[in-house]
């Protein structure tokens, strides 16, 4: 028997890094204002770490959205490979081979579209189980603007939006013309 409602538990789990960061910040402030000693010297370092954790928690919480993994399929990221296991489709794409990242908000469930030069595109529902790990996977893409991704997730456009393109892809296309 649980004393916490499932909705409240899901909300805390969605914002878990933010909650831990706030608790660490409060602890650091308490140590700093309390009796001076070793904890008073450690408190500023803990506070800086807590602020960093709060910033990361805000981004991750916004990326996770309100979905609780109720969408179709499951996502796994392992050693730079994104794998989607879906009921009708699925596949694997390596981050180093990723050429385009798109967001399609026009479908009933919004999707990420991952394209590569030599292979089919991979469509991953935003609310698939484990899709929150894509934030860390996308963060390694050079030149990707995470704030732009978070805005598109929040405002959900009606069509397909290009979120990221590998610069060498554009150059290869121009050279082949």
**Annotated domain spans of the chain:** 6-64, 74-175
Global pTM exceeds 0.85? no
Give the chain's radius of gyration (CA, Å).
20
Task: State the Cα–Cα distance between residues 57 and 168, nearest whole angstrom.
Answer: 32
pLDDT at 82 over 90: yes
The 10s digit of each residue's pLDDT in 24-52 is: 999 999 999 987 788 888 999 999 999 99
- pLDDT 10s digits, 143-153: 888 888 888 88
φ, ψ (nearest 5 deg) of residue 99: -110, -35
The answer, yes or no, to whether residue 105 has pLDDT greater than 70, is: yes
Q: Per this entry, what is the length of the chain?
A: 177
- Catalogue the E-assigned strands of 22-174: 74-78, 81-85, 90-94, 98-104, 111-116, 122-125, 160-165
- Residue appearing with tokens 């009606």: 158
């Amino acid at each position: 028997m649980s004393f916490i409602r499932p909705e409240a538990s899901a909300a805390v789990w969605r914002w878990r890094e933010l909650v831990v960061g706030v608790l660490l910040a409060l602890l650091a402030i308490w140590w700093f204002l309390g009796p001076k000693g070793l904890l008073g010297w450690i408190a500023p370092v803990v506070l800086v770490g807590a602020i960093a954790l709060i910033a990361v928690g805000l981004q991750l919480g916004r990326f996770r959205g309100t979905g609780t993994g109720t969408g179709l399929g499951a996502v796994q990221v392992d050693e730079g490979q994104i794998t989607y296991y879906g009921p009708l489709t699925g596949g694997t794409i390596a981050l180093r081979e990723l050429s385009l990242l798109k967001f399609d908000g026009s479908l009933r469930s919004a999707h990420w579209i991952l394209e590569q030069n030599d292979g089919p595109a991979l469509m991953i529902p935003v609310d698939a189980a484990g899709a929150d790990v894509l934030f860390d996977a996308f963060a390694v893409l050079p030149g990707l603007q995470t704030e732009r991704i978070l805005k598109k997730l929040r405002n959900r456009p009606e069509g397909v939006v290009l979120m990221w393109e590998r610069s060498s892809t554009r150059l290869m296309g121009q050279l082949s013309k």
